[in-house]
Amino acid sequence: MNATHEKKWLDELAVELRLRDVPGSAIGDALASVKEFLADSGQSPDEAFGSPREYAADLNLPPISSATPLSAMVRFSAIGLVAFLIFTQATWPLAAGRDLHLAAAQLAWFAIPVAAVICLPLYLGFATRRPWALAAIAALCAAAGALSTIFAPDSAADAWVSVNPLIVVVVTGAIMIAAAIVTMRTAIANDDPIREPLGSPAVTQDAAVFGRLGGIVGAWLFPLFSVVLLAAAMLTR
């Protein structure tokens, strides 16, 4: 039996069950059952259980009832990212003491990454199963973001619309902080590591603590980056 292939299959099953919001203890139970059966039968996971996606669907395990679904957590993070993207447009005009000038073409290109981020929960499962798709979407968003800066107007005369950058910074900053608080609270409430039966956790205690800290720090990344960006803009004006 190909141990690498078996591990990959089990990892994919864990992802599929996570996408269905199955509790960590039930995922650990399902993984251990598969391992037990494969050890007994000598079969490959595909031969005995089909594809991880089909098997996860066939198991039809109940989702966590009390926790926030994974797609909702991603949506909160996505709101923070959109606010950060808009915040970055306003920092330099704010530091320079002028209005934020926006061109129609600039906004059109900027709408691509914003739409990609807002719609992320809709294609989260598709992208998680196909890393190349996630990379392609990220590349498209980066390219569109870069193109939007090319179309940024040089003066108020070229602008389609001009706004006070302080309002943009304050509003997007508040949204980022609110999204970070909600994301951090749901990350802590949803702390549910995959636990195999017989009391053996699939991850070590250190890894679990590290993962919990990572969730908290990750939730505050956008506000932290924003402060650094704003400070850099103020210092270099």
Partner 1 sequence: MPSSHSSPPSQSTPPSAAELAVETAWPSDWIRAALGLCTLQALEAGPTYGYAIIAKLAEAGLGMVKGGTLYPLLTRFESAGWLEVDWRPGDGGPGRKYFALTRDGRNELDRQRLAWQSFSRLTTNFLADRTTQPKERS
Query: Which one of the spans 28-36, 90-98, 115-123, 179-187 is the region binding partner 1 (CB under 8 A)?
Result: 28-36
Residue 203 binding partner 1, by CB under 8 A: no
Q: Among 176, 186, 190, 198, which residue's Cα sits nearest to residue 33?
A: 198
Q: Among 106, 84, 102, 85, which residue's Cα sits nearest to residue 93?
A: 102
Residues 6+ apart with CB under 8 A from 181: 219
Helix locations, 63-158, DSSP H = 70-96, 104-118, 120-129, 131-150
Subset of 77-96 contacting partner 1 (CB under 8 A): none
Nearer of residues 41 and 149 to partner 1, judged by Cβ: 41
Query: Which one of the spans 9-17, 42-50, 134-142, 175-183 is the region binding partner 1 (CB under 8 A)?
Result: 42-50
Taking the C-alpha atoms of residue 58 and residue 68, their distance in angstroms, rounded to an integer, is 23
- Least distance to partner 1 from the beta carbon of 205, Å? 20
Angle CA 23–176–226, to nearest 5? 125
- The answer to whether the beta carbons of residues 183 and 216 sit under 8 Å apart is no
Nearer of residues 47 and 158 to partner 1, judged by Cβ: 47
Query: Which one of the spans 49-57, 92-100, 126-134, 139-147 is the region binding partner 1 (CB under 8 A)?
Result: 49-57
Residue 62 binding partner 1, by CB under 8 A: yes
| Among 197, 210, 211, 224, interactor with partner 1 by CB under 8 A | 197
Query: Which one of the spans 43-51, 88-96, 153-161, 203-211 is the region binding partner 1 (CB under 8 A)?
Result: 43-51
Residue 61 binding partner 1, by CB under 8 A: yes
Indicate the residue type of 204.
Answer: T
Q: Is 201 helix (H, G, I), strand (E, B) or coil?
A: strand
Residue 54 binding partner 1, by CB under 8 A: yes
